[in-house]
Structure 1
């Protein structure tokens, strides 16, 4: 829901945990050929298809898609035992926790719940499952929780750049803002006022670890929109991660795995997810052992070091 321009505070919360990331939207393309036959596809028609389509008949339809997965659980049979693997889909390290949802005469080695670190775009064997009593049958169900980042990250004392390319800026919600910066993931986040389409730049060198760009809705229903926004997550050399959230639909301008420099444009600000209005949500986060936490940071503005006050103006 769009908020009137007279609203002075733009605030948000952004949560990212579990085995799934941010819910997004996808596109389906529909076109009618010269014979009147209607076609559907998950990509725009190619040159031959377009030539065969009636002029102006190609339509783009937005549909709700499943959330993008941070990691996938894969179980393989291995001669009477089962191997539980975690597949990391991100361009940065993740931590996973595999546990039993149900277990009947099945044990894990190591015992479940078991944690594992999984390198970028790699797989890791988390546990080997077998019958506790080989003389009788058994069955089991597994669940896996996953979180971006390495719990061994050691944040350095770094001065970040202002993440927006604009002459003037305003902080609408600072550290510990009571509207939405009260949990560990957002406690040290900052919401910068920004019109939709304002260039968003990397505040520090790093590797683009994760992006979402197709979500197109916003509102104040936390259950529906909390954690649902377009964003870019950038991994820094010390293991910390910068989150740039609430970007415009299709407003991501960086690709996963890309190395970016401080000041390089990575997207366009927007108004997606749990938010009261257009702004950029910026946070520096670390994984503290299956717990994502935001941390205080230093930042330089146009006139020198930026003073980030607590709460909201």
Structure 2
């Protein structure tokens, strides 16, 4: 059994957050990073992506279920969206008689593809005298994919204060989950974490946090070494 741990991942991009929806109207899930908004135009429909985060995102719009749909630019269409902004992704021309019943999927990724990370000295992310790394870069247990390749697992007792290893803007906070485990299929979308955007466009994701253990909110600026949460299992 692995001891309680804190996972710190240094990222340029993150897992896709997807919302499949009928449009119009548009709906979003609790953890969505973007909202698809469809506006009737002059014989077509304008598809906008609204950024729900206080930092940049990348979006991709495509059809679901193999449906054919004329669009300009063609689908899948991609766009970069600044913090809190909206961008016209494409113009849609549904088949005659199918207006208002387009089946679309919008994928959103926190961060910018134009990020250029600098060489920076990071602080330790835990308030403890003798930190121990249980799993490093490219770790065989759970760091062997692109998303987690540069993650570090620190061993820490539950309740250890978690500190910002580098200053930045809090992008996302999720600490409502109480279940835990190593089953990726079951728990991959039910993890407690804090995501922080740095001034060079890179990001850090702090995982394995305690339920209700966050001490920051999205949009908040944090300094390096500032307490942001509490470690969990």
Contact 1:91 1:257 in 2 (8 A): yes
| 3-state SS in 1 of match to 2:125 | coil
Shift of 1:8: 5.6
Whether 1:70 aligns to 2:69 is no
Query: 1:237-291 CA deviation, whole Å, 9 max, x = no partner?
Result: 10000110110000010111111110000000112xxxxxxxxxxxxxxxxxxxx
Consecutive unaligned residues in structure 2, runs of 5 or more: 20-28
Show the counterpart of 1:16: 15
Alignment CA distance shift 1:244-1:12 (3 Å): closer
Cα offset for 1:228? 2.1
Shift of 1:98: 0.4
Whether the 8 Å CA contact 1:9–1:173 is kept in 2: the answer is no
Task: Return closer, same or farther for 1:175/1:82 CA change in 2, 3 Å cut-off.
Answer: same
Aligned to 2:104: 142
CA distance in 1, matches of 2:215, 2:4: 27
**1:154 and 2:116 equivalent?**
yes
Q: Unaligned stretches of 5+ in structure 1?
A: 21-65, 272-313
Number of the residue aligned with 1:127: 90
Residue 130 of structure 2 is matched in structure 1 by 168
CA distance in 1, matches of 2:67, 2:162: 48
Equivalent pair of 1:12/1:179 in contact (CA under 8 Å): no
1:255 to 217, 220, 230: 217
* Separation (CA, whole Å) in 1 of partners of 2:5 and 2:194: 19
Q: CA separation in 1, counterparts of 2:16 and 2:63? A: 19
What corresponds to 2:25 in structure 1? none
Q: Distance in 2 between matches of 1:74 and 1:222?
A: 32
Task: State whether structure 2 residue 151 is matched by structure 1 residue 189.
Answer: yes
Quick one: distance in 2 between partners of 1:213 and 1:11?
A: 14
Task: Provide Cα deviations, 1:185-242, integer angstroms capped at 9, x if missing partner.
Answer: 1111100001111000111110111111111110122211124211110000100001
- Higher gyration radius (CA): 1
Q: Is the 8 A contact 1:214 1:230 kept in 2?
A: yes
Per the normalisation by structure 1, the TM-score is 0.65
Judge conservation of contact 1:209–1:256 (CA < 8 Å) in 2: yes
Give distance in 2, aligned partners of 1:142 and 1:9: 40
Deviations 1:6-26 (A, max 9, x none): x56859798732326xxxxxx
Map Cα deviations across residues 159-184 of structure 1 (whole Å, 9 max, x no partner). 10000011111111111111100000
Separation in structure 1 between the aligned mates of residue 38 and residue 192 of structure 2, nearest angstrom = 31
Residue in structure 2 matched with residue 200 of structure 1 by the alignment: 162
Question: Is it true that 1:245 corresponds to 2:202 in the alignment?
Answer: no
Distance change (3 Å), C-alpha of 1:218 and 1:13: farther
Q: CA RMSD in A?
A: 2.2
1:84 counterpart residue number: 47
Equivalent residue number for residue 24 of structure 2? none
Show the counterpart of 2:26.
Answer: none
